[in-house]
Structure 1
Amino acid sequence: MFSELLKKYSWLDSQRAIATKTARDVEMALARTDRTLADFQALISPAAAPYLEEMARQSHHLTQQRFGKTMQMYAPLYLSNECQNICTYCAFSVDNKIRRRTLADDEMLREADALKAMGYQHVLLVTGEANQTVGVPYLKNAIRLLRSRFAHISMEVQPLDQDAYEELIPEGLHTVLVYQETYDRDSYKIHHPKGKKASYRYRVETPDRLGRAGIHKLGLGTLLGLSDWRTDSFFTALHLHYLERTYWQTRYSLSFPRLRPIDVLGVEGITSRNFSNCLTDRELAQLICAYRLFSPEVELSLSTRESPTFRDHVIRLGITSISAGSKTNPGGYVVELQSLEQFEISDERSPAEMAAVLRRAGYEPVWKDWDSSLMTVHP
């Protein structure tokens, strides 16, 4: 289990190792092709900042070599904002006095049809963490309803037990995203004081349960800004390194969610929040390149949290998957446009507009990257 390996690593020692990397360490990392975790530390260190142009050049080359000039398109479909956890950074947190909303079957299908009309074949199902309301029976039903409409169904919901994943995968579940939020135990405890999510160990062991269950693809990431982004990114790389070697038949993706402000007027308990730990655009570009140089096979995904200008520039650096036209509220496409968003998006361009941007940059938008007939699905 990764939790056992994690015991061998100190947060403070890792933070110190990154901070003390030198220009020579960076140059040695750039000269290698089979890079180590120590090389990754060098590439995300302050010492690597002057080398960003060379990192970008190598990252672009590796991405073109492995993925070609294609970009996977996906969209989130928020099914529910009900949640039993307190998370200090999330609008869906149970202590926020908002109207809760969970989509019924006909509403899911209306949302799905809206996404299909935009051209999507890849959908990401998202809920809050409420086992009684949106537990395994609800998720199984949602996958059964939607699998005939989409070639690829992903899920970002509460962590589940291994047997639950083994129940959902044959129904058509292809990918699960599970973000640790932060690997810093002290920060994790501060930001997750109540609910099942308060268990650091249960969350950090979720990818192991998914690997043993045989998931096709698994997504990792941290919420950049909760703690020191460099150290969190190192522990994400450590986790990826472990998983790639332990569950080698599974594919992997990484996401880069930066904290976004919550600003919902007239809703008690939710106010604008500024996050001092967030990385700059240049630092995020450095991080994207560092991950590509460390793991040429991993898929790198960027959401509409980021600005149009930033997204247009970094798609060439190593990104292989991108969303567009996203709504982060249940029913946000057609059912209930004004329900509460989980966070504010920054890039509001439609899928057609984003596809046009990609084509002008020489990339081909890919709406479907595998065929559902290749997966055994129960009738």
Structure 2
Amino acid sequence: MSFYDIYKHYDWDEIKNFIYSRDETDIISTLGKQHLTDEDFATLLSPAAEKYIEEMAQTAHKITVMRFGKTIKLYAPLYLSNVCTNSCIYCGFNVHNKIPRITLNEDEIEVEAKAVSDTGIKHILLLTGEAPKIANIDYLKKATEICSKYFSSIGIEIYPLDIEGYKTLVDAGVDLLTIYQETYNRKTYNEVHLAGKKKDFLWRLETPERGAAAGLRTVGIGALMGLDDFRVEEFFVGIHAKYLMKKYWKTHFTVSFPRIRKAEGCYAPRCYVSDKNLVQSIVAMRMFLHDVGIVISTREPAWLRDNLIPLGVTQMSAGSKTEPGGYALHEDEKAEQFHIEDNRPVNEIINVIRSKGYDPVLKDWDRAFVQPVSV
């Protein structure tokens, strides 16, 4: 059994109608519960629940402090390549976009890795476009080997692999996978992914399970907010995470809330997602899944990220660049995947986190924890 066996029993329009039919009585009844059902989660995502966001935020804060303490783990993305064979209409790496195509060589990876490591961050996320002939497994293994000299935790956000592919990278030192479904509406998915391997909805939907089965320590999922109705999208993200957390209980799961940002091609979001909508999504997710990690990236502006810290967030990116070579080599915004909103340096973000009464965590994992001890 996979998540698809659950997914296929849900009708998008029926879920949407349920969410939009909730009223104030339903909200008040749900707020009093300690453990939420799927229907309760849908209720908290409803327009009727917007009136109770402050109360929901207070509950989300209490749950997060109880489960995670007052800590925020920091990480940085390192783009290895922006070469891509897909035609995703919302992405700056779209194969049809006329942008500089860059793939870092080994020496360049080392320079970029050292530049990020020098900021103090020890959690790195390696990213590529979907071009397996360019950024193949051997290339990714070598990149991991180089980054292992500078980082205690190495994640990947690349094209989907089979279980054996993930096992190969786990053996090389990768311990985290991020893979967004982008949209859980199969019709919309087909409309925004025009060509390339990514057009295969089911192959992508089951990727988190292959990663967990391969032994990855952490797996992150999410929907790209703005491709379809965010309320329905986040419902599917939530039930997907719930399924994964139950089946692969040895793996830690996180949920991200990326909103579409300006990128080459000037794609306009189909559905507007306001700041209030983002907050509602985050606090509802925390109330539904107490132990899931919640990630906010530099897609969001500084002032908003600062205010989201007490509302359930456990991880944040810092000092990010979304183009290959952006940290120390040849920064070129034309080569970026999307435009970031929070351009503050790492040390400034650290200071803000501390000013909020939270502890910034630059390292919380070491591969020595899982290596056999010699006697």
| TM-score, structure 2 normalization | 0.97
Aligned length: 370
Any conservation in 1 of the 2:123–2:152 contact (CA below 8 Å)?
yes
Flag structure 2 segments of 5+ consecutive residues without an equivalent: none
1:314 aligned to 2:308?
A: yes
2:175 is paired with a residue of what secondary structure? strand
CA contact (8 A) 2:4 2:206 kept: yes
**Aligned-pair CA distance for 1:166:** 1.1
**Counterpart AA for 1:288:** I
Equivalent residue of 1:370, what SS?
Answer: coil
The corresponding residue for 2:179 is 178
The match for 1:360 among 355, 359, 375 is 355
**RMSD over equivalenced CA pairs, Å:** 1.1
What TM-score do the two structures reach when normalised by structure 1?
A: 0.96
- Check whether the contact 2:63–2:286 (CA below 8 A) recurs between aligned residues: yes
TM-superposition CA deviations, 1:238-282 (whole Å, max 9, x none): 11111111111110001010000125xxxxxx3x33324131001
Question: C-alpha separation between the residues in 1 aligned to 2:77 and 2:158?
Answer: 12
> Aligned partners of 1:200, 1:90: CA distance in 2, in Å?
17
1:24 positional shift: 1.9
> Is 2:238–2:285's contact at 8 Å kept on the other side of the alignment?
yes
Q: CA deviation at 1:96?
A: 1.1
- Asked if the contact 1:258/1:278 (under 8 Å) is kept, the reply is no
Q: Whole-Å Cα distance in 1 between the matches of residues 312 and 277 of structure 2?
A: 14
What is the aligned partner in structure 2 of residue 371 from structure 1?
Answer: 366
Percent identity, please: 42
Shift of 1:376: 3.4
Task: Tell me which of 280, 285, 294 is aligned to 2:279.
Answer: 285
d(CA) in 1 for partners of 2:370, 2:115: 25
Q: Distance in 2 between matches of 1:210 and 1:323?
A: 22
CA distance in 2, matches of 1:118, 1:148: 15
Letter in 2 for 1:229: F
Partner of 1:345: 340
Structure 1 position 93, deviation (Å): 0.6
Q: State the shift of 1:22 in Å.
A: 1.7
Distance (Å, rounded) in 2 between the aligned partners of 1:146 and 1:376: 18
Per-residue deviation, 1:43: 0.7
Q: Which amino acid aligns with 1:105?
A: E
Q: Does structure 1 residue 113 correspond to structure 2 residue 114?
A: yes
Aligned to 1:266: none
Tell me the distance in 2 between the aligned counterparts of 1:81 and 1:137.
17
Which residue does 1:267 correspond to in 2?
Answer: none
Shift of 1:39: 0.8
CA contact (8 A) 2:228 2:270 kept: no
Q: Distance in 2 between matches of 1:276 and 1:98?
A: 24
Q: Where do residues 141-180 of structure 1 align in structure 2 (5 Å cutoff)? A: 141-180=142-181
- Paired residue type of 2:69: G
Superposed CA deviations along residues 115-155 of structure 1, whole A, max 9, x for unmatched, are 11111100010110101001211111111111121011111
Paired residue type of 1:143: T
2:293 to 299, 304, 325: 299
- The letter for the 2-side match of 1:297 is D
1:243 matched to which residue of 2? 244
**1:199-278 matches, cutoff 5 A:** 199-262=200-263, 270=265, 272-278=266-272
Whether 1:94 and 2:95 are equivalent positions in the alignment is yes
Aligned partner of 1:140 in structure 2 is 141
Partner of 1:59: 60
Q: Is contact 1:259-1:278 (8 Å) kept? A: no
Aligned to 1:195: 196
Instruction: Point out the more displaced range, 202-211 or 174-183.
Output: 202-211
* Equivalent pair of 2:302/2:341 in contact (CA under 8 Å): yes
